[in-house]
Structure 1
Amino acid sequence: MVRAHGVNWWWSSDLVFQILYRKYIVKCVLYLLLAPSVAQAQMERLASTPQELSDAIASSGPGDTVIMANGTWTDVVIEFHNEGAERDTITLRAETPGQVILTGSSRLEIGGSYLKVDGLWFDQGSLRSGHIIEFRRSSSRLSSHSRLTNCTITNYNPPSYLTEYKWVSIYGSHNRVDHCHFAGKTHDGATVVVWLRDPPNDDPVWHRIDQNYFGHRPALPKNGGESLRIGTSSRSMQDANVTVEHNLFEECDGEIEIISNKSGNNIFRHNTFRRSSGTLTLRHGNEASVYGNYFLGEGKSRSGGVRIIGERHRVYNNYFQDLEGTGYRAAVSIVNGVPNSPLNRYFQVKDAVVAFNTFVNVEETFVLGAGRSSEQSLSPDGLQIVNNLVVTPNGPIIEYEDTPTNVSYMSNVFYGADLGIEEVDGILVADPELQAEQDLWVLSNTSVAVGTATSVDFVSDDIDGQQRDGKPDIGADEVSLAPILYRPLTSKDVGPSYLGTVLNTELPVPEARHAMIQGYPNPFRSMVSVDFTLEQPSHVQLSIYDLLGREIVTLMDGPRSLGDHSALFDGSGLAPGVYFVVIEVDGNPMKQTLVKH
């Protein structure tokens, strides 16, 4: 007998049996529920041939993993068509990330739901048309809740730059492209495109594009050189609800539109643009949010910021420095519209808010009414320019190509160049006393911009992710002791993890801006002459690298006399793409980009 709280409990054999029986039933039910998912999660299939790969994909179910064996796969069409489940993704991955190389005419279809592709590298192949990677199995069977991660596409170019195909086409909904590396595209067609769905199934697509490296896209002598495009002109009045965040765009010179926004309600945040001759262009569509981005010209000609077209856009908490673009490529270019504009022209800018931005040493800060013409006759209307901080010797700070209507200025601090318009309330001309901090310029504690901003209801933090207090500061950065959450990105912060350990993904060499070093012809097909001039006798090392920092050949290494010099390089064996010639003169390096067609 067991006594508990004064109550007598008798254990009979019947009672013991009932308790044990119930425990047995519960255990059996739990086993039956859990056993299938445990078995599926453990299933891995290694494929060493295209047929084995096809069979492994077809045999896989939710939770399974298909592994591609290390090595070079040539002319392979991967039809990754299957259906995973919300907590049981089907994964296609490299045996070792970065050591599965796809080339020739290889391409990939991600067709289904809850699919993941991880660690593949498409290198030095080419297509005649279409897409290297597409999120669909057919025009009517699109992907959803699927992911492309840790993958690389480099120098996947045809012989002619006029050949058009996309590198990555995102169809369907709720897909993600992250930690990928895209570099060396020299031919027609956007690098990455988001396609919207046709009516009546035209709901927002909710994709996410994050922590990718977009790099080294030389100028294309025609439209179609975007690094990223979201939507099309014909679908531009649809909301896409795509988020583009924490990406690095470096030397993206394909055309004026580095990013081409052609749909509604998209978010562009915490991205970094370095040495890129173009802008983040809100080309079509309405209600985009552009915040927390760094636009760093770093001396690059025609480098720009944000170009605004359409209605109700918000551009805030951004940092612009050393940009050399003008007109459409100004730091902020607000474009004139076309009356009754067709979808592929220019809609009037209405009710845009440009707030809490910092501009340092830019060639042109604000251009309002950009592109004014007999066709583009509608000036911006309802524009608010609020809490912006400008320090630049280049002026005028505000340029009216056409006079805006209903424009308001509030709590701005401008300094350096001429204002460009008559003095108005809402613009204080004063030295904001900036101080250098890790290659950026921020407010000092004694600045007139500290605590003097006008509150804006949708802005609660700054470019660093620090909270703004009840008396916010003017400009992108709030003076704060709180931890900094976001900084300008470098190549080490984005892209596949394996590139940082296998290769030198970024040559730490400044671009030659003058005639000291030139390659001719450029673009080239076979032979290229590398010419340079020395102002005094020097030790010269001249080498050719690919776009990932791998040395191809050293053309010269030794003393050279004052004057003109030349070296010939036979690049006939190279795949079409981007390469670098690097010259070190007495240990001081410079580079020039070469394009092979």
Structure 2
Amino acid sequence: MRPGIIILLLGCWVATARAQAVRYVTTPDELQTAIQAARPGDTIVMADGTWRDVAIIFEASGAPGDTITLRAETPGRVVLTGRSRLRIGGAYLKVEGLCFENGALPEGEGVIEFRANGRHAFHSRLTNTAIINYNPPRRETEYKWVSLYGRFNRVDHCYFAGKTNRGALLVVWLQDPPNDAPPAHRIDHNYFGPRPELGENGAEIIRIGTSARSMQEARVVVERNLFLETNGEIEIISNKSGGNIYRGNTFRRCRGTLTLRHGNGALVEGNFFFGEGIAGTGGVRIIGEDHRVLNNYFQDLTGTGYYAAISVVQGVPDSPLNRYFQVKRAVIAHNTFVNTERSFEIGIGASPDQSLPPEDLTIANNVVQTRLGAPIVTTHLEPVGKTTWAGNIFYGKPGSYPEGAATFAHPELVRSEDGLYRPAPTSPLIDTAHPDFALATDMDGQPRNDRTPDVGADEMSSAPVRWRPLSPADVGPDWLREANIEVKFGGRPSRLAPHTSGFPFEGVTSMSFYLERPAHVRISMFDLSGRRVMTVFDERVDEGSHVFRLDGSHLPTGTYLLVMETDCNERDYRLITIARP
């Protein structure tokens, strides 16, 4: 009887198996029909071309291992514009390869939301997709570009640039009980490009939670993202919930901070902050309880006060959810500061109703090397409770900190081949960190010596480097990275200065670039598929500033990448948009 049973079961499996369908659609009606018919494992392919004023309601149910995929025929060649928008609702869904470009929506509408017809998304993914210059005529019109609802969703390898209107770019929304389980989303390997200053709150790049729900756990991971000139407001990232992780991100020329605004228990680890001397560039702002700021690298930041490399804010007694909770049990350890205008601002924000100093603060095994005249530590109100200073090595103007809080000595940080400042072989940082605060790895992902670790974010090691500062070649959609775009982060590469930092012009404009030494310069323009459409400049020039004319009048309207390369292995690029009346 046993062989018969086996044959019967096998026959049932064959009878119920279904071939996974691939449906090619060319119109909005065909698209919605295909979505309604989709079953686990199916793929819906949108035809290349411009899709205008399309409301995509991607509501379906996939299954573990059998995701339903909505994708472009050719990644980057499906361009959604006008009032186009996307809603994702259901489970095990995937969207990839789309480009939302130069559209505009009414107040509160939202470009992409992980909910459809009131149904939230779970275990779903947005990847290899771009939103570029999707702005209304008036910047006061508010809407978000991406809203994450549901649980266990992922936004990765996407490109976001050019948001000018009110509203955070990407928001994680938390829910009321009984649906208040941590959403546990993942936001990784994305490119967050230029955003001009709005001049008011509500222009964050990422916001996780709200003041009203800030005591809820979110447990969102934000890692390996690149933030470039994201200048909308002081809060580049606004943490407003508990248990979130910010790891391995790179911030470049960003006038603002990673702000732990509300909520508790955040981990800020292994991030790179490069100010390049730009005014208002900052690091991490700390408010609330049990935050850890570890293994981060801060260089050439000019911010002071709330914009300092590290600012620890005073609290409000019996603070309401939308004010400032007292900082308690924060740990700031194994960080490296190089040429930062204000490395530590402690107890900032004093006012008659904001009077609670930080409590039980730990500052350990940090290194500061600065040639600037500003104090390393500015203490506005002395911390209370068990405040611990241990294993720090400072060099510069000391400032106000307790005697014995740091060793004042030149740390001998020298610029390495990758442009980062690392300990020289004779550095006093080596093997001198306080072991009570040792970490398992350093900013490179290399293991630390658990008995005699090094001070700062970098451990002297011959182990392979796992993590490094990100360039555009490391993040965003693969169809944008095909243009072989790379930016050197450690030093000061030659920089393009476009007409309006990536915002529309009518086809002809003047631009400039600056060289620190003579070089052969080639400037090329690519479309968003990675195809080179023209060479703009190609000659050898001396050091200094140079102006050139960009004539794109023969090109179609749209968004392009302008890439500058020199024979000194320096590269930079800018996003530009040609728009005609």
Selected match of 2:101 from 123, 139, 150: 123
Range moving further from structure 2, 466-475 or 53-62:
466-475
Q: In the alignment, which residue of structure 1 is the partner of 2:69?
A: 91
Structure 2 counterpart of 1:419, from 398, 404, 426 = 398
Residue 407 of structure 2 corresponds to 428
Q: 1:490 offset after TM fit, Å? A: 0.5
2:296 paired with 1:315: no
In 1, Cα distance between equivalents of 2:565 and 2:444 = 37
Residues 577, 189 of structure 1: CA spacing in aligned structure 2 closer, same or farther, 3 A cutoff? farther
**Residues 290 and 329 in structure 2, CA contact (< 8 A), matched pair in contact too:** yes
Q: Is the 8 A contact 1:173 1:207 kept in 2?
A: yes
Q: Partner of 1:494 in structure 2?
A: 475
Q: Quick one: which amino acid aligns to residue 463 of structure 1?
A: M
Question: Which letter does structure 2 place at the counterpart of 1:242?
Answer: V
Q: Tell me whether 1:403 sits opposite 2:382 in the alignment.
A: yes
2:111 is paired with a residue whose SS is strand
Taking a change above 3 Å as real, the CA distance of residues 551 and 156 of structure 1, as seen in their structure-2 partners, is farther
SS at match of 1:166: coil
| Distance change in 2, residues 1:485/1:252 (3 Å) | same
Whichever residue aligns with residue 110 of structure 2, its letter is H
Distance 1:457 1:145, change over 3 A: farther
Change (3 A) 1:211 1:520: closer
State the partner residue of 2:146.
168
Match 2:251 to one of 246, 270, 273:
273
The letter for the 1-side match of 2:36 is: A
Q: Contact conserved, 1:301 with 1:325, CA < 8 A, in 2?
A: yes
- CA deviation digits over 1:351-378, x for unaligned, max 9? 1000010111111100011222223222
Q: Deviations over 1:266-304 (max 9, x none)?
A: 000011111111110001111100001111112322111
SS in 2 for 1:303: coil
Which has the higher mean CA deviation after the structures are superposed, 325-334 or 25-34?
Answer: 25-34
The equivalences for 1:126-145 within 5 A come to 126-129=104-107, 130-139=109-118, 141-145=119-123
**2:22 maps to which residue?**
44
Structure 1 match to 2:326: 348
What letter corresponds to residue 9 of structure 2 in structure 1? V
1:476 counterpart letter in structure 2: A
Q: Among 292, 299, 315, which residue is 2:277 paired with?
A: 299
Larger Rg: 1
Gaps of 5+ in 1: 1-20
Question: Which residue, 365, 368, 377 being the options, matches 2:355?
Answer: 377
Q: Which residue of 2 aligns with 1:16?
A: none
Asked if 1:32 is matched to 2:12, the reply is yes
Task: Report the counterpart of residue 226 of structure 1 in structure 2.
Answer: 204
**Equivalent residue, structure 1, for 2:38:** 60
Q: Residue deviations 1:231-259, cap 9 Å, x none?
A: 11111111101011111111111111111
Report the Cα distance in structure 1 between the residues aligned to 2:571 and 2:454, rounded to whole angstroms. Answer: 41
* Structure 1 counterpart of 2:441: 461
Q: CA–CA distance in 1 between the matches of 2:306 and 2:441?
A: 29
Quick one: distance in 1 between partners of 2:26 and 2:337? Answer: 54
Deviation at 1:434, TM superposition (A): 1.9
Checking the alignment, whether the CA contact within 8 Å between 1:357 and 1:388 is kept in structure 2 is yes
Post-superposition CA distance 1:456-509 (Å, at most 9, x none): 4682111111111221111111111111111111000111111122x4656887
Distance, in Å, in 1 between the alignment partners of 2:297 and 2:361 is: 20
- 2:429 is aligned to 449
2:453 aligns with: 472
- Distance in 2, matches of 1:575 and 1:225, equals 27
- Is the 8 Å Cα contact of residues 185 and 578 (structure 1) preserved in structure 2? no
SS of the aligned residue for 1:258 comes to strand
Per the TM alignment, residue 115 of structure 1 is displaced from its structure 2 partner at its CA by 0.8
> Does structure 2 conserve the Cα–Cα contact (< 8 Å) formed by 1:384 and 1:409?
yes
Shift of 1:444: 2.5
**Deviation for aligned residue 1:436:** 2.0
CA deviation digits over 1:202-225, x for unaligned, max 9? 111111111111111111122111
Measured in 2, the distance between the counterparts of 1:566 and 1:180 equals: 31
What is the letter of the counterpart of residue 473 of structure 2? Answer: K
Q: Which residue of 474, 481, 485 maps to 2:462?
A: 481
CA shift, 1:192, in A, is: 0.7
Which letter maps to 1:256? I
The one-letter code of the counterpart of 1:132 is V
Match of 1:216, SS state, is coil
Rounded Cα–Cα distance in structure 2 between residues aligned with 1:589 and 1:486: 21
Q: Is the 8 A contact 1:380 1:404 kept in 2?
A: yes
Report SS of the residue matched to 1:187.
coil
| Paired letter, 1:362 | T
**Considering only aligned residues, what root-mean-square deviation do their CA atoms show, in Å?**
3.7
Amino acid in the other structure paired with 1:131 = G
Report the AA paired with residue 305 of structure 1.
G
Residues 58-115 of structure 1 deviation map (CA, whole Å, 9 limit, x = unaligned) = 1111111111111111111111001111221111111121111111111100010111
Secondary structure of the structure 2 residue equivalent to 1:186: coil
Sort the Cα spacing of 1:542 and 1:418 in 2 relative to 1 into closer, same or farther, 3 A: same
Aligned 8 A contact 2:487 2:571 in 1: no
What does residue 359 of structure 1 align with? 337
Which letter maps to 1:322?
D
State the distance in 1 between where 2:82 and 2:376 align: 51
Contact 1:295–1:321 (8 Å) recurs in 2: yes
The residue identity in structure 2 corresponding to 1:433 is E
Query: Alpha-carbon deviation of 1:413?
Result: 0.6
Structure 2: gaps (5+ residues): 540-544
The 8 Å contact of residues 186 and 577 in structure 1, kept in 2 or not, is answered as no
CA distance in 2, matches of 1:595, 1:520: 10
Q: Displacement of 1:421 after TM fit?
A: 2.1
Q: Which residue of 2 aligns with 1:72?
A: 50
Q: Distance in 2 between matches of 1:161 and 1:545?
A: 29
1:170-212 deviation digits (Å, cap 9, x = unpaired): 0011111111111111111111110001123211111111111
- Which residue, out of 146, 153, 165, partners 2:124? 146
Alignment check: 8 A CA contact 1:504 1:550 kept: no
Q: After TM superposition, give the deviation of residue 33 of structure 1 in Å.
A: 2.9
- Tell me if structure 2 keeps the 8 A contact 1:251–1:275: yes
Give the Cα–Cα distance (whole angstroms) in 2 for the partners of residues 34 and 533 of structure 1: 65
- The 5-angstrom pairing of residues 164-243 of structure 1 reads 164-243=142-221
Flag the 1:159–1:333 CA change in 2: closer, same or farther, 3 A. Answer: same
Matches of 1:85 and 1:421 in 2, distance apart? Answer: 58
Name the CA shift for 1:100/1:382 in 2 (closer, same or farther; >3 Å): same
Q: How many Å separate the matches in 2 of 1:242 and 1:77?
A: 28
| Contact 1:522/1:528 (<8 A) preserved | no
Distance 1:507 1:59, change over 3 A: same
Secondary structure class of the residue paired with 1:196: coil
* Structure 1 Cα separation of the partners of residues 487 and 295 of structure 2: 30
Q: In the alignment, residue 479 of structure 1 is paired with which amino acid?
A: M
Amino acid at match of 1:445: P
- Could you report, residue by residue, the CA deviation over 1:7-66 in whole angstroms, capped at 9, with x for unpaired residues? xxxxxxxxxxxxxx74454244134236645x24x3111111111111111111111111
User: How many residues align structurally?
Assistant: 561
| Structure 2 counterpart of 1:252 | 230
